[in-house]
């Protein structure tokens, strides 16, 4: 985010290669009170047909970004472009963006059919065409038989489908979703994740999806933008985000994560040797550390921790650990360990036939592939 | 199916329904005793007076109680029979008894309601009634020619039963004809229906003005941050905490000929000193002051409904392509309908029965039906006052029924 983005040319055409996206946030800033910034210098380019998720804790600025894109908030500075056109001053009803709201926002005084007809009526569409489109949209979400029901007569999941159908019925090229699955139970949520993903694929629409649920973000997205403190912390495909977090915020926010603070002992190319506070040496991949002697936080996923020497690559360091607790979770066993003086190191073991049994109090040695331990900034 | 369910029994063989009833009886008794005081209170202070009022509007024995002989004659002879000697004899006997009991005034007053100007006929004839000699027809006609008037006889027939619709006839500007029919009173004597109409039209107007003023206020209240909304709410509620009399008289101070508003207008040169606006002691005064007094009753139900309307509805409509006007018309307004209905119903019902304000600031043309009801009460014509009140009550109940049909009474929200 540090590189300088070029200004507009004479005729409003930008010259930057990154700015050819379908949706572009160009140096966007947002302040509500004139004192602090909620969104700090946001630069983001979303390709046509992409499924992009804005992920972050509440107050991170992700919803504000979505609202600016939808037109309900104005950018304090910078430019938002949709299909090459600056939409800063375009009112929301002229943007032609479909939107699914957190609590569905289905109009309670209208039937499902009337709800879906609404965007078509305000576009002056004829009755026959309208009915054909409504039927198609309802069939798309498997709710064809519900056109005459009122929203209050539907379950949460059904309302969710109708809200989805309503956002899609007028064929928008871009659909925004503001935590649409937040109010559903876990099972339904997972089911709807797949349905939304399939709709996205079959319709070829661009989706900008806001959530604070990292599982949802990883499952559905082409790319995920992790927000914190008004800034994008990392913008990457889900696998990269999980396996190669850029900084300690992303590492902590996405998935479960063990943190080991230490000092860089040796740094050579893509390998680093880190000395922990208690004196042990561990292997790591340097991510945003630059010099020897620097303080660092090494991040390791619990499922990448090994305790059998034969599974370790040759020459890898192993350190002492004490088993504190073994929690049976069905598919996995969660082992809490004391490592380098801290009591919260977690290792996940697959619950396979003949898996080694660990008992509390037992002393073991653990290690990991250097690529799985990432030496990050100390945040 | 229903047979099977009715034959269900408990484990020890008792019918399930009976067992359930016994089990719940105790809880039901307890609940009843809890609400009993309120029930009694409502019964004594509300149901009974209204019942008594409605009874009075249909029952008046001022005439029938003192004319037993006439009553018998009317009962024996069907409507339209010419009064014969027997009828006049009965009348003479009753008049003589009235003199003895000093009840001629009462009977005359009752007759006076339906045929104005007949009270003196009874009192003067009764004075010499014990000296009347047969044939009574000639004797009575000699006393006063009016005794031959068929209208008098038709009215006496109607008044000879204590149960009467006479007062509803009067309240709807109608009277009896000599042959027992019903006709409208002459045009220059019609006041009640016209005043009912005026009351309803003015109340409708006041309701409409209240709605226009309250809608933006309620919207502001519902959307402002809590601290500011509370401050505004205090301003809205302030009139509630002030005496009705104080509020009304302060409007007099503002609106009268030498009042604040006129003085400002004159000093600004908008109106001349000789052209001061008449804004009080007339219909305008009634409308202005009643609108102000009833405004909170519109704001509160609207506010309570608007507060529950999530802003995402408007946003959803906008994102779906609706202009702000379409969003208001198709989404926001329909969602506030229960509040509009509740507020309008409340303001209208209160306005229709309003009494103090029109009495104080209404002057001659700003009086409403309740002022006339009060007038009749002060003249002790309780039955006519009750009949007018009964009609007002019926009108309000019709409105209530309409509201239930159109919006649904379960949607009534009053803050």
- Determine the residue of chain A that is closest to B311 in CA distance: A105
The shortest CB-CB distance from A93 to any of B318, B331, B335 is to B318
The shortest CB-CB distance from B319 to any of A97, A106, A123 is to A97
Residues of B within 8 A of A101 (CB-CB) are 312, 315-316
Contact state of A103 with B322 under an 8 Å Cβ cutoff: no
Measured distance CA(A361)–CA(B236) in Å, rounded: 70
pLDDT of residue A252: 86
Q: Which of A198, A181, A377 lies closest to A288, judged by CA?
A: A377
Q: Are A70 and A97 in contact (CB under 8 A)?
A: yes
Q: Please name the residues in contact with A99: beta carbons below 8 A apart, sequence gap of 6 or more.
A: A70, A167, A175, A176, A177, A178, B315, B316, B319, B320
Residues of A within 8 A of B321 (CB-CB) are 93-94, 96, 119, 122-123, 170
Interface of A with B in 151-180 (CB under 8 A): 166-167, 170, 176
Measured distance CA(A60)–CA(A57) in Å, rounded: 6
- Determine the residue of chain B that is closest to A123 in CA distance: B321
Contact state of A170 with B331 under an 8 Å Cβ cutoff: no
Give the number of other CB atoms < 10 A from CB of residue B9. 12
Contact state of B315 with A96 under an 8 Å Cβ cutoff: no
Q: Element (H or E) spanning A176, and its range?
A: strand A174-178
Q: What residue ranges of chain B are covered by domains with CATH 1.10.3720.10? A: 192-411
Give B334→chain A minimum CA distance, Å: 7
Contact state of B312 with A105 under an 8 Å Cβ cutoff: yes
Q: Please identify every stretch of chain A with a pLDDT value under 70, giving residue numbers as ranges.
A: 1-20, 379
Contact state of B313 with A107 under an 8 Å Cβ cutoff: yes
Q: How far apart are the first and last CA of chain B?
A: 46
pLDDT of residue A17: 35
Measured distance CA(B207)–CA(B220) in Å, rounded: 20
Angle among Cα B81, B84, B86 to the nearest 5 degrees reads 120
The shortest CB-CB distance from A122 to any of B316, B326, B335 is to B326
pLDDT of residue A136: 92
pLDDT of residue A315: 74
Q: Which of A36, A5, A32 lies closest to A19, judged by CA?
A: A5
Residues of B within 8 A of A95 (CB-CB) are 319
pLDDT of residue B412: 64
Pick the CATH number of B192-411 from 1.10.20.10, 3.40.190.10, 3.20.20.10, 1.10.3720.10: 1.10.3720.10
Helix (H, G, I), strand (E, B) or coil at B322: coil
β-strands A318-328, A363-367 pairing: antiparallel
pLDDT of residue A2: 40
DSSP assigned state of A32: S
Contact state of A108 with B335 under an 8 Å Cβ cutoff: yes
Q: Which domains does chain A have, with CATH numbers?
A: 17-97+172-243 (3.40.50.300), 256-376 (2.40.50.100)
The count of CB pairs under 8 A between chains A and B is: 67
The shortest CB-CB distance from B331 to any of A95, A107, A170 is to A107
| pLDDT in single tens digits along all 415 residues of chain B | 445 555 677 777 788 888 888 888 988 999 999 999 999 999 999 999 999 999 999 999 889 999 999 999 999 988 878 888 899 999 999 999 999 999 998 899 999 888 888 899 999 998 888 888 888 888 888 888 889 888 888 889 888 889 988 899 999 998 888 777 888 888 888 889 999 999 999 999 999 999 999 999 999 999 998 899 999 989 888 878 888 888 888 999 999 988 899 999 999 988 888 888 888 899 999 999 999 999 999 999 999 999 999 989 999 999 999 999 999 999 999 999 889 988 999 999 999 999 888 999 988 888 899 999 999 999 888 999 999 999 999 998 998 898 888 877 776 655 4
């Amino acid at each position: 985010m540090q590189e300088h983005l070029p200004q507009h040319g004479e005729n409003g055409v930008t010259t930057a290669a990154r700015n050819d996206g379908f949706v572009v946030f160009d140096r966007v800033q947002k302040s509500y009170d004139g004192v602090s910034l909620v969104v700090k210098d946001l630069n983001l380019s979303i390709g046509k047909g992409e499924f992009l998720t804005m992920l972050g804790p509440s107050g991170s600025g992700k919803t504000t970004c979505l609202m600016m894109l939808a037109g309900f908030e104005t950018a304090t500075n910078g430019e938002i472009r949709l299909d090459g056109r600056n939409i800063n001053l375009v009112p929301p009803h002229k943007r032609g963006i479909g939107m699914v709201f957190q609590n569905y926002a289905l109009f309670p005084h209208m039937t499902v059919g009337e709800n879906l007809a609404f965007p078509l009526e305000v576009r002056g569409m004829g009755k026959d065409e309208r009915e054909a489109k409504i039927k198609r949209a309802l069939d798309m979400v498997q709710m064809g038989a519900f056109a005459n029901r009122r929203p209050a007569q539907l379950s949460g999941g059904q309302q969710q489908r109708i809200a989805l159908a309503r956002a899609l019925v007028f064929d928008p090229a871009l659909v925004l979703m503001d935590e649409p699955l937040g109010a559903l139970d876990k099972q339904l949520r997972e089911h709807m994740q797949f349905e939304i993903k399939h709709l996205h694929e079959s319709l070829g629409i661009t989706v900008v999806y806001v959530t604070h649920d990292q599982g949802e973000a990883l499952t559905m997205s082409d790319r995920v933008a992790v927000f914190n403190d008004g800034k994008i912390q990392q913008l990457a495909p889900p696998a990269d985000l999980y396996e190669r977090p850029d900084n300690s915020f992303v590492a902590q926010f996405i998935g479960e994560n063990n943190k080991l603070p230490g000092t860089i002992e040796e740094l050579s190319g893509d390998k680093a040797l880190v000395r922990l506070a208690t004196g042990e040496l561990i292997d790591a991949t340097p991510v945003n550390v630059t010099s020897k002697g620097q303080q660092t936080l090494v991040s390791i996923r619990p499922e990448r921790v090994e305790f059998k020497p034969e599974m370790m690559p040759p020459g890898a360091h192993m350190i002492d650990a004490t088993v504190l607790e073994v929690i049976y979770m069905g598919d996995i066993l969660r082992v809490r360990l004391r490592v380098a003086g801290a009591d919260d190191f977690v290792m996940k073991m697959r619950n396979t036939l003949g898996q080694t049994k660990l008992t509390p109090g037992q002393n073991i040695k653990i290690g990991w592939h250097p690529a799985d331990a990432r030496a990050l900034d100390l945040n | 199916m229903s047979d099977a369910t009715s034959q269900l029994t408990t484990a020890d063989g008792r019918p399930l329904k009976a067992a359930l009833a016994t089990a719940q009886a105790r809880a039901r008794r307890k609940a009843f005793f809890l609400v009993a005081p309120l029930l009694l209170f409502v019964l004594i202070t509300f149901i009974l007076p209204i019942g008594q009022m409605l009874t009075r509007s249909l029952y008046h024995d001022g005439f029938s109680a003192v004319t037993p002989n006439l009553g018998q004659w009317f009962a024996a002879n069907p409507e339209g029979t010419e009064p014969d000697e027997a009828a006049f004899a009965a009348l003479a006997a009753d008049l003589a008894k009235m003199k003895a009991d000093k009840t001629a005034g009462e009977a005359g007053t009752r007759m006076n309601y339906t045929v104005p100007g007949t009270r003196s006929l009874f009192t003067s004839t009764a004075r010499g009634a014990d000296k009347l000699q047969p044939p009574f027809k000639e004797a009575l006609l000699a006393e006063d020619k009016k005794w031959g008037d068929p209208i008098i006889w038709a009215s006496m027939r109607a008044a000879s039963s204590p149960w009467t619709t006479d007062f509803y006839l009067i309240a709807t500007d109608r009277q009896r004809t000599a042959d027992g029919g019903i006709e409208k009173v002459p045009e220059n004597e019609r006041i009640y229906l016209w005043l009912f109409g005026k009351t309803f039209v003015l109340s409708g107007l006041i309701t409409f003005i209240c709605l226009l003023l309250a809608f933006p206020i309620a919207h502001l209240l519902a959307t402002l941050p809590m601290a500011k909304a509370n401050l505004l709410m205090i301003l809205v509620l302030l009139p509630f905490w002030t005496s009705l009399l104080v509020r009304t008289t302060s409007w007099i101070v503002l609106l009268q000929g030498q009042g604040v508003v006129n003085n400002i207008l004159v000093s600004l040169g908008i109106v001349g000193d000789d052209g001061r606006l008449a804004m009080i002691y007339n219909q305008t005064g009634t409308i202005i002051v009643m609108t102000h007094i009833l405004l909170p009753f519109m704001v509160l139900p609207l506010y309570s409904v608007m507060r529950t309307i999530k802003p995402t509805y408007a946003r959803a409509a906008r994102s779906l392509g609706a202009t702000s006007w379409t969003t208001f018309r198709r989404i926001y307004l329909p969602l506030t309908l229960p509040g509009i209905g509740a507020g309008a119903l409340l303001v209208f019902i209160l306005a229709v029965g309003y009494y103090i304000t029109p009495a104080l600031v209404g002057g001659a043309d700003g009086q409403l039906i309740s002022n006339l009801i009060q007038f009749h009460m002060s003249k002790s014509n309780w039955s006519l006052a009750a009949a007018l009140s009964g009609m007002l009550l019926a009108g309000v109940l019709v409105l209530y029924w309409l509201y239930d049909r159109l919006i649904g009474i379960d949607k009534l929200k009053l803050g």
